Structure 1
Amino acid sequence: MPLLFAGNTDVGLKRSTNQDSIFMDGKLKYFVVADGMGGHKGGDIASQAAVKELSEFLKNGDRSNPEEILIKSLAHTNQAILKKGNDNPLWKGMGTTVVEYYFKSSKLYIGNVGDSRGYLVNQKNLYQLTKDHSLIQEKMNFGMYTREQAKKDPQKNVLSRTVGFDEEVEIDIYNYKVQKNDIFLLCSDGLYGMVSDADILFLINKHIPAPAKAGKDELATAVNSLITHANSAGGEDNISVILILTR
């Protein structure tokens, strides 16, 4: 299953450092967005460590069972980041979100911790494939908030799960039967917090109107357009975007 892909990460307009990290490997067919937080300069350390530990684990591990290796990779990375924080008081309490996509045969396997998101664009529609691990999402799950109310809550960025903060981490695993010309998006909250789902869909469809004919340049243009629009809306956070087109 050939893949076309493009990605980028941007500091945004309000932050002095970029604590997001991304990883893309077309040969391995593995992609990661990580959004770090916590500690003195710990956020960027955590996200950088996450993509390094995850990618090396995938490259060197037994990938015959995709869901199992995603779980093991995240558990391993959780311990590696936790150790870094315990070894250095300046990094104590750091952690990171992770959303990871691994394509094998005709399926996509997703590992997720935190509130970075995975989406699918299929037949001009946008579907969120992951569920946020945040206090707001938990309130929404119990019917306490609507999505519009949640956007105004001061605790909207408080996470209920992160990689590298606790001894054990609960991991969500999903799988999806891939179709030809599907478009997959991975992003940090710096994108979807600034750009609505409707506008994300509009921009992807605008720059990739015919996925069957699209090339890497169209994907790169769409990625940069999404980042530009997040900054135009305020650029409150770091912004990371990866787009993948299946052939």
Structure 2
Amino acid sequence: MKIQNKHWKVYKISEKGNFREINEDYVGCAFHEDSSLLVIADGMGGHNAGEIASKIAVETLLSYINQIKEPNVEKELITAVKMANEEIFKKSSESLDYSGMGTTITVSIIINDFIYIANVGDSRCYVVKNNEISLITKDHSLVQELVDSGAITEEEGKVHPSKNIITRALGTSKDVEVDIYKIDSCDITDILLCTDGASNVLTNEEILSIIKSYDGSEVCNNIFIKSLEMGSRDNISVILCRGDS
């Protein structure tokens, strides 16, 4: 699916993959005259609760976008993510079926010359600049903590049996800590958000190769296909935001 505004073209895909019965990922975007918002979430919880949590997260962010304006973008973005957290936490207390549900969230807002990114969990945001890819977000996961402590290497982390355990999520407690990043958009050609259904099985270099090899929606389609080929057992969602050439 392609969406376009004055400066950026956005392509997205969200599929359940080959092993899950339902798709607990949820993606969305919104555009205004001088800004673009991308958001991706990966839900967790039994009895379809993950599907509900991720949808609440994305829809809450999108409904708040009109209030996110300079010069306090970071502050307003944190407020929006915390609001989503509160909505999910409240919903989880209404039924035993929803108890303990949660979701990751990764948000990117492009305003004028800057890109603002918020992250909770292990969904990721990458940017491509000068034909090189950089991972902007840092996973809130058990494996990342083990890598940071030196207990395991990054290569060992890719095949660690606990790589799906996250240490921070929306909806699992009344409050949540939100990571915020601000980067200059100069020379950035692509922004890519994805859930761990892709990032757990593809290297940064493999993702970059696909970004460089295909146009628009074909990037999302080929990341999905490649993730399946590499054995992904999860839902797979990708948003690509590409600057006008």
1:116–1:189 CA contact under 8 A, matched in 2: yes
User: How far 1:196 moved relative to its partner?
Assistant: 1.8
CA RMSD of aligned residues (A): 1.2
> How far apart in 2 are the matches of 1:180 and 1:12?
34
Q: How does 1:231-246 map to 2 (within 5 A)?
A: 231-246=228-243
Instruction: Spell out, residue by residue over 1:10-62, the C-alpha distance to the aligned partner (whole angstroms, 9 max, x if none).
Output: 11111010000000223351000100001321000000111011110123x25
Is 1:94 aligned to 2:101, yes or no? yes
2:78–2:118 CA contact under 8 A, matched in 1: yes
Q: What percentage of residue pairs aligned between the two structures are identical?
A: 34
User: How far 1:181 moved relative to its partner?
Assistant: 5.1
2:102–2:172 CA contact under 8 A, matched in 1: yes
Residues 111, 181 of structure 1: CA spacing in aligned structure 2 closer, same or farther, 3 A cutoff? Answer: closer
Is 1:13 aligned to 2:10, yes or no? no
2:130–2:187 CA contact under 8 A, matched in 1: no
- In structure 2, the residue matched to 1:146 is 153
> How far apart in 1 are the matches of 2:133 and 2:22?
30
Specify the code of the residue in structure 2 equivalent to 1:105: N
1:135–1:156 CA contact under 8 A, matched in 2: yes
2:129–2:187 CA contact under 8 A, matched in 1: no
Instruction: Spell out, residue by residue over 1:70-93, the C-alpha distance to the aligned partner (whole angstroms, 9 max, x if none).
Output: 100011110000000001110100
1:3–1:26 CA contact under 8 A, matched in 2: no
2:26–2:55 CA contact under 8 A, matched in 1: yes
> How far apart in 2 are the matches of 1:46 and 1:195?
26
User: How far 1:152 moved relative to its partner?
Assistant: 2.5
Instruction: Spell out, residue by residue over 1:165-190, the C-alpha distance to the aligned partner (whole angstroms, 9 max, x if none).
Output: 11110100000100245211000000
Say which SS state the counterpart of residue 14 (structure 1) adopts: coil
Is 1:176 aligned to 2:183, yes or no? yes
> How far apart in 1 are the matches of 2:199 and 2:242?
20
Is 1:122 aligned to 2:119, yes or no? no
TM-score of the pair, normalised by structure 1:
0.92
> How far apart in 1 are the matches of 2:206 and 2:189?
18
Q: Which consecutive unaligned segments of at least 5 residues does structure 2 have? A: 1-5
- In structure 1, the residue matched to 2:58 is 51
The answer to which of 193-202 and 76-85 deviates more is 193-202
- In structure 2, the residue matched to 1:63 is 69
Instruction: Spell out, residue by residue over 1:85-124, the C-alpha distance to the aligned partner (whole angstroms, 9 max, x if none).
Output: 0011101000000000001110000000000000011111
1:180–1:246 CA contact under 8 A, matched in 2: no
TM-score of the pair, normalised by structure 2:
0.93
- In structure 2, the residue matched to 1:226 is 223
1:66–1:104 CA contact under 8 A, matched in 2: no
User: How far 1:235 moved relative to its partner?
Assistant: 3.1
Residues 181, 115 of structure 1: CA spacing in aligned structure 2 closer, same or farther, 3 A cutoff? Answer: closer
Count of aligned pairs between the two proteins: 236
Residues 237, 69 of structure 1: CA spacing in aligned structure 2 closer, same or farther, 3 A cutoff? Answer: same
> How far apart in 2 are the matches of 1:62 and 1:232?
39
> How far apart in 1 are the matches of 2:187 and 2:206?
24
1:97–1:162 CA contact under 8 A, matched in 2: yes
User: How far 1:246 moved relative to its partner?
Assistant: 2.3
> How far apart in 2 are the matches of 1:125 and 1:162?
29
